[in-house]
Amino acid sequence: MTIKRIAFQGEPGAYSEEALFLLAPDAQSQPYREFRDVAQAVLEHRAELGLLPIENSLVGSIATNFDLIAESALAIVGEVVSAVHHCLLGVPGAQRAALRRVLSHPVALAQCERFLRELSGVEVVAFYDTAGAAAEVARRKDTSLGAVAGVLAARRYGLEVLAERIEDEPHNQTRFLLVARDATPPPADVPAKTTLRLKLPHRPGTLARALAPFADAGLNLTKLESRPDRSTPWEYLFYLDVEGRAAEPAMRSALAALATQGAVITLLGEYARFTPRG
């Protein structure tokens, strides 16, 4: 089997790379600085696939990535939900009690606030990326400097794990979408999701009427996100995740009803629903 090149945002060892290996353990991972760079790598054939975070169970949506997928005309071909377990990392020989500064992305620092508050005399410093913070600690070789990042980052940069699972909430998870240049419908025997973008007529009650056909067809909506329509100020586009396939009778019925309401429907992808192993 050909090993896929999969682009992700962040430094090597980032949580996005951890999620990537959940989907494809043998993949060749490619790090990029920005989400848009990930999409561009796929469009320019430098990578077969790209992995983009779309929502976190604590922080909420990364809704701009819905816009990025739609605007780049990439197709969603998969999803993965990855647990986020933060660790306190240091160079070999570092001791937790001797740390004086801890680096990480602001979101990661906020998610470990209780633990970090208990570190006496430690300055918490925002950094652009969790794995980037780990790389900086490794580069500096300073036993008083630590980072909040994942186990993969510790392995990548030769750091020691001084404390594990330091996040305040144990159920911290991020959902990622896998994108490709071309759509790839999932096998017929696996549960599927479909992601749609709707542009609705701008009049009272439009959204309520647009959602009714899904309920009438017995379809489960797992996500609804509104985003500004950049072509028309103060009007909105709606992104929906629906359990089911575009070709199924229930989905066809719902989409036909939407079309009669004047909705402009864009299919962003249908893909296998992620099922945790074990």
Residues in the chain with pLDDT < 50?
1
**The predicted structure's pLDDT at residue 203:** 87
Residue 118: which residues within 8 A CB-CB, separation 6 or more? none
User: Is there a catalytic annotation at residue 174?
Assistant: yes
Q: Are residue 176 and residue 79 in the same domain, yes or no?
A: yes
Give me the phi and psi of 33, to 5 degrees please. -75, -40
Residue range 242-272, pLDDT digits in tens: 999 999 999 999 999 999 999 999 999 999 9
Question: Which residue in the list 130, 174, 194, 195 is annotated as catalytic?
Answer: 174
Query: What's the CATH code of the domain at 136?
Result: 3.40.190.10
Q: How many residues are listed for the chain in this entry?
A: 278
Q: Which of 174, 188, 187, 195 is nearest to 74 (CA)?
A: 195
Order of strands across the sheet with 160-163? 123-126, 101-104, 145-149, 87-90, 160-163
What CATH number is attached to the domain comprising 212?
3.30.70.260
Looking at the structure of the chain, the number of domains it has is 3
Q: Are residues 78 and 206 in the same domain?
A: no
Active-site annotation holds for 184: no
> Same domain, yes or no, for 200 and 68?
no
Q: Looking at the structure, do residues 77 and 91 belong to the same domain, yes or no?
A: no
What global pTM score does this model have?
0.90
Q: Are residues 176 and 73 in the same domain?
A: yes
> Are 20 and 70 found together in one domain?
yes
| Range(s) of the domain holding residue 131 | 87-163
Q: Are 17 and 8 in contact (CB under 8 A)?
A: yes
Chain Cα centroid distance, residue 26:
20
Look at residue 275 in the predicted model and tell me its pLDDT. Answer: 79
* Same domain, yes or no: 60 and 176: yes
Of the residues 8, 66, 127, 176, only one is catalytic, namely 176
Q: Are 191 and 273 in contact (CB under 8 A)?
A: yes
**Which tens digits make up the pLDDT trace of 52-103?**
999 998 888 998 999 999 999 999 999 999 999 999 999 999 999 999 999 9
Q: What is the pLDDT of residue 277?
A: 63
pLDDT at 180: 97
Question: Do residues 39 and 72 share a domain?
Answer: yes
CA-based nearest residue to 180, from 15, 50, 44, 4: 50
